[in-house]
Amino acid sequence: MTALGGARRPAGYAQPAIAQADIAARPGAVSAAGADLSVGARAAVTRLALTDFRCYARLKLVLDARPVVLTGPNGAGKTNLLEALSFFAPGRGLRRARLGEVDRIGAGPWGAAATVLGPTGVLEIGTGHDRPNHDRSGDVGEGQSTDGRRVVRVDGRTERGQAALASAVAVFWLTPDMDRLFAEGPGARRRFLDRLVYGFDPEHARRVAVYEHAMRERARILREGRGDGAWLSALEDRMAREGVAIASARRAVAERLARAIHDGVGAFPKAGLAVEGPLDRALAEGPALAAEDAVRAALATARGEDAISGGAATGPHKSDLVVRHLGKDMPAALCSTGEHKALLISIALANARLVALDRGAPPILLLDEVAAHLDATRRAALFETLLELRAQTWMTGTDAHLFAPLGQAAQHFAVAEAAVVPLAGVPS
Ligand SMILES: Nc1ncnc2c1ncn2[C@@H]1O[C@H](COP(=O)(O)OP(=O)(O)O)[C@@H](O)[C@H]1O
Ligand SMILES: [Mg+2]
């Protein structure tokens, strides 16, 4: 096991010296997260406060930058805690919940606040459920739903959408539900890929929101049969421009990840990644501007059939992330659940490594129930890589002793009935 201070780095992982100096130059940052920060760049939640968040009426946690281990019985509140952290990324969190579901039953609205230490300093991030006012118009805009809207604050400033979260902090997660990722429809895989892209290109979140809003608007106008040709053309133009930017960003990240995985993933299987769809083919074959023109033309031609289907004939919403188990030369969809999990860990670790290079710190990783399903060798390899990456990884499980190899390199908490208490000593 690599000691915390003995930064042995995996191949291809260079410690960004500038970010490191940046943290060291900020006394507030160093004292906020413990002395171990002086030896490497990290991103870490150093304070988490929850209000009426699912089973938590109120929770306050003070942390340092080390990985966080949460153990306790089923139903204790471990996944809920990870879900709260997942709301520091754009989207609907790791359960894809409706905002109202997250309100503590009989209470709410929920709120989550964190102090996040990153390579550029300390940020205060807050998010939560803004319940709808019944006198407000029924118009549903970006980040809104009939369920109310999610508010986002970064350093006291209220942001217009959730995209600002992706600039503030990179958060990435793996959950047991994702074992079905390769067996399900392409929507879940697109969202998975988009979350990977947020780590590299925070603008991606804004583009996805703008694209989806334009697509919904166009579908509404077509459904209502309004002959608003100029407005439809404007929406289709927006879909073409944002759509091509989205598809290009996805392709670039999938290619980088595939290369990083090819260069080595240790004990985990090598995954092949490719994005496939009409727009991705167009981008592979020709320039982006030609792809944009093709989307505009295809959408204009397809108005009649889209009015009937309720969809949109082409665009990045037709793409799929195709993953292969390279060792077995087999599509991921045909692999076992254990192999799925191992492939996802490969992708998550490669992603963490690349994000660390780009942003100066790895993402905050949320690994729900991951350790229990790995054999001892792979579990040790996972822990070792996470420590080498210096990622603040939040891990859950029912069995504290599985995390014993992490020793003092992690902070261990017991979770029981929505109370989170530091474990006395390190589990053995
Ligand atoms: N909106 C809510 N209000 C209150 N309790 C909730 C809400 N949503 C879920 N819970 C409860 O939170 C508890 C803990 O769930 P979870 O975090 O998934 O446990 P685990 O520790 O097994 O991961 C469950 O018993 C569930 O009933
Ligand atoms: Mg759970």
Give the CATH number of the domain where residue 220 resides.
1.20.1050.90
**Cα–Cα distance, 66 to 379 (Å, whole number):** 17
The protein residue whose alpha carbon is closest to atom 12 in ligand 1 is 55
Helix (H) or strand (E) holding 318: none
- Rounded Cα distance between 362 and 45, Å, is 12
Taking the CB of residue 272, how many other CB atoms lie within 10 A of it?
17
Ligand 1 contact, 80 CB (< 6 A): yes
Ligand 2 geometric centre to CA of 186 (Å): 25
What's the pLDDT at 287?
97
Q: How far is the CA of 394 from the centre of ligand 2 (A)?
A: 12
Domain, as residue range, for 253: 189-336
Spacing, Cα 284 to ligand 2 middle (Å): 41
Task: Please give the pLDDT value at position 146.
Answer: 59
Q: Per residue of the chain (428 residues), what is the pLDDT tens digit?
A: 333 333 333 333 333 332 333 333 333 333 333 334 333 578 999 999 999 999 999 999 999 999 999 999 999 999 999 999 999 999 999 999 999 999 999 997 999 999 999 888 999 999 999 987 543 443 434 444 457 899 999 999 999 989 999 999 999 999 999 989 999 999 999 999 999 999 999 999 999 999 999 999 999 999 999 878 999 999 999 999 999 999 999 999 999 999 999 887 789 999 999 999 999 999 999 999 999 999 999 999 999 999 999 999 999 999 999 999 999 999 999 999 899 999 999 999 999 999 999 999 999 999 999 998 899 999 999 999 999 999 999 999 999 999 999 999 999 999 999 999 999 877 87
Residue nearest to atom 17 of ligand 1 (CA): 77
Nearest residue by C-alpha to atom 27 in ligand 1: 75
Q: Which residue has the tokens 């429809």?
A: 185
The answer on 1 and 141 residing in a single domain is yes
Where a domain ends, among 294, 319, 336? 336
72 plus 121 within the same structural domain: yes
Do 95 and 33 sit in the same domain of this protein?
Answer: yes
Residue 372 lies in a domain: yes
pTM value is 0.87
Q: Cα-flanking dihedrals φ and ψ of residue 419, to 5°?
A: -120, 135
43 lies in a domain?
Answer: yes
Give the CA dihedral 188, 163, 209, 55, nearest 10 degrees: 50
- Mutation to probe ligand 1, out of 54, 58, 104, 394 (largest number of atoms < 8 A from CB): 54
Contact 320, 183 (CB under 8 A): no
Residue that has been written with the tokens 């291809």 in this structure: 12
Whether residue 208 sits in one domain with residue 133: no
Residue at which a domain ends, from 279, 301, 336: 336
Whole-number Å distance, alpha carbon 197 to ligand 2 midpoint, is 26
d(CA 179, ligand 1 centre) in Å: 21
Sign of CA dihedral 354, 355, 361, 364: negative
Shared domain check, 162 and 108 = yes
Give the helix ranges, DSSP H, for 263-287.
Answer: 278-285
pLDDT at 372: 86
The crossing angle, in degrees rounded to 10, of helices 288-301 and 229-262 is 140
Tokens of 292: 């944009």
The CATH code of the domain that includes 11 is: 3.40.50.300
Question: Roughly what angle, to the nearest 10 degrees, separates helices 229-262 and 186-200?
Answer: 80
Q: Are residues 243 and 386 in the same domain?
A: no
Same domain? For 109 and 203 the reply is no
CB proximity list for 76: less than 8 A, separation 6 or greater: 415, 416, 417, 418
Q: Which ligand is nearest to the CA of 368?
A: 2
Residue listed under structure tokens 């109202």 = 100
pLDDT of residue 20: 34
Distance of CA 81 from the midpoint of ligand 2 (Å): 9
Instruction: Assess if residue 342 is contained within a domain.
Output: no
Pocket lining: 75 vs ligand 1, CB cutoff 6 Å: yes
Minimal-distance CA residue to ligand 1 atom 9: 54
Strand pairing of 393-397 and 411-416?
unpaired
User: Identity (one letter) of the amino acid at 85?
Assistant: L
Domain count, the chain: 2
> Do 298 and 388 reside in the same domain of the chain?
no
Cα of 56 from ligand 1 centre, angstroms: 9
**C-alpha span between 265 and 246 (Å, rounded):** 27
- Give the total residue count for the chain: 428
Are residues 84 and 68 in contact, defined by beta-carbon separation less than 8 angstroms? Answer: no
Q: Is the minimum distance from the CB of 74 to ligand 1 under 6 angstroms?
A: yes
Contact between residue 348 and residue 172 where contact means Cβ atoms under 8 Å apart = yes
Alpha helices (runs of H) in 142-228, residue ranges in sequence order: 163-168, 186-200, 203-224
Q: Is residue 354 part of a domain?
A: no
For ligand 1, whether the C-beta of 104 sits within 6 Å is yes
Residue 182, in any domain of the structure:
no
CB 233 within 8 A of CB 301: no
Cβ of 73 less than 6 Å from ligand 1:
no
Closest CA relative to residue 193, chosen from 107, 96, 322, 102: 322
Say if residue 273 is in the same domain as residue 155.
no
Same domain, 148 and 241: no
Cβ count near 141 (within 10 Å): 12
Is 405 within the bounds of a domain? yes
Ligand 1 atom nearest to CA at 77: 17
Whether 344 maps to a domain, the answer reads no
Q: Ligand 1 atom closest to Cα of 368?
A: 23
> Of the candidates 142, 147, 146, 138, which has an alpha carbon nearest to the alpha carbon of residue 103?
147
- Distance CA(403)–CA(396), nearest Å, equals 9
Ligand lying nearest the CA atom of residue 77: 1
Do 331 and 214 share a structural domain?
yes
55 lines ligand 1 (CB under 6 A): yes
Does 133 lie in the same domain as 40?
A: yes
The answer to whether position 178 is within a domain reads no
Contacts of 323 (CB under 8 A, 6+ apart): 182, 189, 271, 272, 273, 331, 332, 343, 347
Q: Which atom of ligand 1 is nearest to the CA of 102?
A: 1
